[in-house]
Structure 1
Amino acid sequence: MDSKCSVFIAASVDGFIAKKDGDIEWLNRPEYECSALNGLTYDEFMTTVDALVMGRKTLEKVLSFPDWPYEKTPVVVLSQAQVSIPAKLQSKVEVMAGDPALIVAQLAGRGLKHLYIDGGQTIQNFLAAGLINEITITRIPVLLGRGIPLFSQLGDELELRLIDSSTSDNGFVQSRYQVVV
């Protein structure tokens, strides 16, 4: 396949990407601030991405942020239902529905070869379809106890090969994996 699908995400040590209500404020605690994060930074990762593919719930969360964080990156929102896109983002956000492999092929046909896959359910759907090539997980030093899991019932075992692992002074542990096919 000419396309590459990558995951770049933070999770609690117990594997949650958000609290049950979708809250992610626990990611922004002052004690997590540090002068340098080791490993692959978000900004470095984004320079390699042609488009971001996310689910509707992830879009709803991002729309609650003070600013739109993807100014230079096309965003594709996957949803079977009607999605309301604010007028100022109409040219930056596209809604698509369908099989993940078909979506990847359609985007590749437009020259969008490296896709950033984001959002719990979207990541799981793309993993189940065998489309994820690389996963970067930054473990945040907190146990949430319950919430929205990064991985739930994938169905099949997936073998991963460690590409890199790094730690930062604030306790973040980042691991980058290649999905072995």
Structure 2
Amino acid sequence: MAKVLYTAAMSLDGYIAGAGGDMSWMAGHAGPNPVAGELIATTGALLVGARTFGGDDPHRGTEAEGKAFGGGWDGPQFVLTHNPPAEPIPGVTFFGDLDTALAAAKAAAGEKHVLVLGAETARGCLEAGALDEVVVSVVPVLLGDGVRLFEHPGGTNVKLERISLTYTPQITNMWFRVLG
């Protein structure tokens, strides 16, 4: 059965997107990352939040624009939104509720991972008890504002167990199991 993983690149001060959802900050920090390669190879489907799907693209203006992992991964995407586009998008299915979208993503992934992209979608998976692991690639930059990796109004205490810690000259990768 598919594991559900929340994965994100994050600034040192805890942001996965800059102010207004800006992702252009990542373009100057991309580089070889074995953990990203592992995720690409083991992913069977993406579960994507509407803000992430329609947000700023770190590959804007390049051949990789609009492609998952800059074109490094291809497969089914399941997007949570209450406003699907009028025209269908090949390889993308839109859902209005998390449970149905998650079930479809898991079925499509088979034995591979479902990668969750988007902070609100990840929080929903966590609150539903459906999030198995969290993979964060910390990028050496400070953004000062934007979308946090995880935000829970009023606070919470989600226990995690570190599975691995790896690094490259540009990125520190932290992989955790969600304990509850």
Report the alpha carbon displacement of residue 145 of structure 1 after superposing the two structures with TM.
1.3
> How is 1:1-181 mapped onto 2 (pairs within 5 angstroms)?
2-29=1-28, 32=29, 36-37=32-33, 39-40=34-35, 42-61=36-55, 65=60, 66=62, 67=64, 68-70=66-68, 72-85=74-87, 90-98=89-97, 100-110=98-108, 112-113=110-111, 114-153=113-152, 156-170=156-170, 172-181=171-180
Residue 3 of structure 1 contacts residue 104 of structure 1 at CA under 8 Å; is this kept in 2?
no
Report the alpha carbon displacement of residue 111 of structure 1 after superposing the two structures with TM.
5.7
CA spacing shift, 1:110–1:59, aligned 2, 3 Å: closer
* TM, length-normalised to structure 2: 0.81
Q: How far apart, CA to CA, are the structure 2 residues paired with 1:112 and 1:84? A: 29
CA spacing shift, 1:167–1:127, aligned 2, 3 Å: same
Superposed CA RMSD? 2.4
CA spacing shift, 1:109–1:145, aligned 2, 3 Å: closer
Alignment partner of 2:151: what SS? coil
CA spacing shift, 1:160–1:26, aligned 2, 3 Å: same
Q: How many residues align?
A: 170
The residue type equivalent to 1:83 in the other structure is: P
Q: How far apart, CA to CA, are the structure 2 residues paired with 1:138 and 1:27? A: 11
Residue 45 of structure 2 contacts residue 109 of structure 2 at CA under 8 Å; is this kept in 1?
no
Q: How far apart, CA to CA, are the structure 1 residues paired with 2:18 and 2:47? A: 21
* TM, length-normalised to structure 1: 0.81
Could you tell me the percent identity over the aligned residues?
A: 24
- 1:59-95: CA deviations, max 9, x gaps? 112678443424621111111223355x6xx331110
Report the alpha carbon displacement of residue 164 of structure 1 after superposing the two structures with TM.
0.6
Q: How far apart, CA to CA, are the structure 2 residues paired with 1:173 and 1:25? A: 19
Report the alpha carbon displacement of residue 17 of structure 1 after superposing the two structures with TM.
0.7
Alignment partner of 1:162: what SS? strand
Residue 47 of structure 2 contacts residue 114 of structure 2 at CA under 8 Å; is this kept in 1?
yes
Q: How far apart, CA to CA, are the structure 1 residues paired with 2:30 and 2:82? A: 38
Q: Which has the larger radius of gyration?
A: 1
- 1:3-49: CA deviations, max 9, x gaps? 310122111111111112111111121xx355x53x51x23212211
The residue type equivalent to 1:50 in the other structure is: G
